[in-house]
Amino acid sequence: QQQVKQSPQSLIVQKGGISIINCAYENTAFDYFPWYQQFPGKGPALLIAIRPDVSEKKEGRFTISFNKSAKQFSLHIMDSQPGDSATYFCAAPRGRAAGNKLTFGGGTRVLVKP
Amino acid sequence: AAGVIQSPRHLIKEKRETATLKCYPIPRHDTVYWYQQGPGQDPQFLISFYEKMQSDKGSIPDRFSAQQFSDYHSELNMSSLELGDSALYFCASSLLSYEQYFGPGTRLTVT
Q: How far is CA A4 from the centre of its chain?
A: 11
Give the residue on A whose Cα is nearest the Cα of B49: A99
DSSP-derived 3-state class of residue B16: coil
Give me the pLDDT at residue B97, please: 67
Residue A27 has pLDDT above 90, yes or no: no
pLDDT in tens, B4-30: 999 999 999 999 999 999 999 999 999
User: B62: which residues sit within 8 A by CB, 6+ positions away?
Assistant: none
Q: Regarding predicted confidence, which is higher, A98 or A69?
A: A69
Residue (of A36, A101, A90, A49) closest to B33 by Cα position: A101
Provide, as residue numbers in chain A, all residues whose Cβ is less than 8 Å from the Cβ of B87. Answer: none
Say yes or no for a CB contact (<8 Å) between A34 and B98: yes
Shortest Cα distance, chain A CAs vs residue B73, angstroms: 14
Give the residue on A whose Cα is nearest the Cα of B104: A43
> Residue A23 is which amino acid?
C
Give me the pLDDT at residue A2, please: 56
A22 touches B87 (CB < 8 A): no
- Please indicate if any CB of chain A lies within 8 Å of the CB of B60: no
- Please indicate if any CB of chain A lies within 8 Å of the CB of B49: yes
Average of per-residue pLDDT across B76-82: 98
Q: Regarding predicted confidence, which is higher, A53 or B1?
A: A53
Give me Rg for the CA atoms of chain B.
13
Total number of residues shown for chain B: 111
Say yes or no for a CB contact (<8 Å) between B45 and A103: yes
